[in-house]
Amino acid sequence: MESNASEVALDLFPYLKVYKNGTLERIAGVEVVPPGLDPETNVLSKDIVIVPETGVSARIYRPNLISEDRKLPLVVYFHGGAFCVASPAFPPYHTSLNKLVAEANIIALSVDYRLVPEHPLPTSYEDSWVALQWIASHKDEDGNQEAWIKDYVGFEQVFLAGDSAGGNIAHHLALRIKESNLGQKLKILGIGMIHPYFWGTSPIGPELNDRSRKELVDKWWLYVCPTDKGCDDPLINPFVDGESADLAGLACDRILIIVAEKDILKGRGWLYYDKLVKSGWKGKAEIMETEGEDHVFHIFNPDCDNANRLTKRLASFFNQGKLPFQLKCQSEVLG
């Protein structure tokens, strides 16, 4: 029989368990795979340290065959995992980034930000911001520089992207860029948000008819960010006051939001899109819904047809930098 110390105090299925003795057991996202040459996609990767003092690092990817004469778009990627699990080395993320880099012919940098609860929010956002600043420092001639960025990246073709919590991070960084001088060094062309992790106390969309999953997601966030604002903390609910004016300050020209039909977060993705197109933001907004799929299905089932369609859609988005820019909003449903 378990002692009281080893009894589960909080079960955050499917991510982690917290025991009464204070110990933490991560259930998901703990496996790791080394970087290197992926024989299936012919994509190279390696791990790099960004801030030795804090351990903030990243996994960087590039096509194996590449020419220094042509600069490639850079996608700065933020992985999901509810801010508390996973890493760029988690096998499903490593596979997903290899496939994306091969399909899009890009450089990708997947940020290994520090996780809750050992590093409470807003650490994940701050680590991701530091990674962007470090990338921007490559425009200068000195400092801690990475050859793959210096030699192959087009600094006028930078994208932010992420799934779930990573989509949330990308949103907040794009707002922060507008208030900084970072945009003078990096041109953020767009943001790709895949099943973004936004939430709120009052249910909307599919949350209205799925009380059990609504309560589960509530519990996740209240553990990740235990503030008196709860699920209406501005970090998770950008429309807590019903306003969308802040979206007009997003520092990019295009945003692609991808949602999944069976995802409990789907309503938040559509709400973000609707608020965006009414906000006064001057860019091009697009939304894509994948029929018959649930949250981050492409990460855990990367070879299915819908995952391949999703990857191709992202690749197209990341390669629009040299196309004439037109203002329009559009939506599509793929099944």
> What residues act catalytically?
164
CA angle 93, 25, 195 (to 5 degrees): 35
In a 3-state reduction of DSSP, which class is residue 177? helix
Radius of gyration of the chain (CA): 19
The encoded tokens of residue 188 equal: 């953020």
Q: Which residues pair with 192 in a beta bridge?
A: 161, 256
Count of Cβ atoms closer than 10 Å to residue 321 Cβ: 18
Please count the helices (runs of H) and the strands (runs of E) in the chain: 8, 13
The encoded tokens of residue 98 equal: 């290899």
User: Which run of H or E residues covers position 49?
Assistant: strand 43-51
22 to each of 88, 103, 122, 224, 262, how far by Cα in Å?
27, 44, 22, 15, 35
**8-12 β-sheet, strand order:** 8-12, 16-19, 24-26
Are 139 and 298 in contact by the 8 Å Cβ rule? The answer is no
Could you give the CA distance from residue 61 to residue 35 in angstroms, rounded to a whole number?
Answer: 9
CA angle 109, 263, 255 (to 5 degrees): 45
Residue 175: which of 255, 241, 252 has the closest Cα?
A: 252
Please report, as a single letter, which amino acid is at residue 22.
Answer: G
